[in-house]
Structure 1
Amino acid sequence: MLSKREYVDSYVAVLSVGKGLRDYKHYLRLEGEGQVAKHWGEQDHFEFNALLGLRWLPFPWDRYLDTSFAMGAGLSYATDEPEIEVEKNDRTARMLGYLMFELGVVVPQQPKWTLFARVHHRSGAFGLFDGVSGGSNVVGAGLRYSF
């Protein structure tokens, strides 16, 4: 059964730095990423995330629109307990698990630029982090430049 989605007046801007660590043929890439996020609106704090991810590279339509899919896991540290997580889950912790899912497409004629959509998820991982069982999701979009 799907849970009810609820949207709140809260926003986040994220600056991230990532690096491809290892390629497996032309199929997969292991990546590392660090993020600094600033939340505002119904909550006001900074969040720091570190993760490892796997990126699937080949798609059948890549000759028309170069696409990739990534997912990653790591740790998330908030400078204050996020108010929305406390309100929705009764409790949270500053340190939680972090998951990321991303779909990206390279901008045609500009191969160093990628447009992407991403799910940014903080979670207690079913109680693994300080007994916290809830979390939060942010769906966003971004633009990445590859050096």
Structure 2
Amino acid sequence: MTYSFPLLAVDLKGLFILPGKSASICFTPHEPDADRGAWSFAAGVAFITSNNINEIIGGDINVDNGPAGGEIYSLTATRRLGQFNLELWGHTFQPQLELPLTLEIIDENSRSPFFGLNASLVVRWEEFPWSHLVHTTFATGVGLSYDDQVYLMDISRHPGSDRSHLKFNWPLQLTFAHPEHPDHQLMLFIAHQSGGRIFDDGGVNSLGIGYRFSY
């Protein structure tokens, strides 16, 4: 079954609708076949930083070695839900829609490890012009994160503020693979969680590396 959503093409320079031109997007639920299965699995380790998300994206990274620092060990199972077929500027793009579920063990430097759970909806873009040399994907989305304990980094960065165990989860992930073995992927990721000014204000960012296997 396919769901279609017609779009109007917009001239970003003139900010007006172009007559006679159109774009469209449709969503096709995933049906497993011999070429593309429904699941992927990943394992990784992330390092807790004292940075906000803008600093990390800008390359200003400070992995904290103090009491609030530490590592996050994660296992993720991802269900592929389907793909979007986006017709734009005469080209067809097919980003994937995924549902990752992540179990985390948060091992801070100054106290016993505790557990965290993340669930998100993620869109994965797989069509890069250099993928015939290095197969590349980029994924991002939004979800919820719940931790047994509040991160010490979260507490230290927001002294005197009530902190929530439940936060929004914003996954950011890049993968790289050999073109002949695209299912075996090196994974670089940012684990970002924040209260979004709903559960609380501010959060924690961690930078990670791992292995992803898709089948």
Alignment size in residue pairs: 143
Structure 1 segments unaligned to the other structure (5+ residues): none
Residue aligning to 1:105: 176
Matched to 1:79, the amino acid is D
Structure 1 residue runs of 4+, over 6 Å off? none
Greater RCO (Cα-Cα under 8 Å, separation 6 or more): 2
Aligned to 1:128: 198
Cα distance in 2 between the residues matched to 1:122 and 1:107: 31
Q: CA separation in 2, counterparts of 1:114 and 1:134?
A: 31
Name the CA distance, whole Å, in 1 between partners of 2:205 and 2:72. 11
2:157 corresponds to which residue?
88
CA contact (8 A) 1:102 1:119 kept: yes
Counterpart check, 1:59 vs 2:115: no
CA–CA distance in structure 2, aligned partners of residues 30 and 95 of structure 1? 24
3-state DSSP class of the match of 2:188?
strand
Distance, in Å, in 1 between the alignment partners of 2:82 and 2:177 is: 20
Deviation for aligned residue 1:41: 2.7
SS of match in other structure, 2:149: coil
Tell me how far 1:48 sits from its aligned partner. Answer: 0.4
State the TM-score, normalized to the length of structure 2.
0.62
User: Which shows bigger deviation, 51-60 or 105-114?
Assistant: 105-114
The 3 A distance-change label for structure 1 pair 6 and 61 is closer
Name which one, 1 or 2, has greater alpha-carbon Rg: 2
1:66 deviation in Å?
Answer: 1.1
Could you tell me the TM-score, scaled by structure 1's length? 0.89
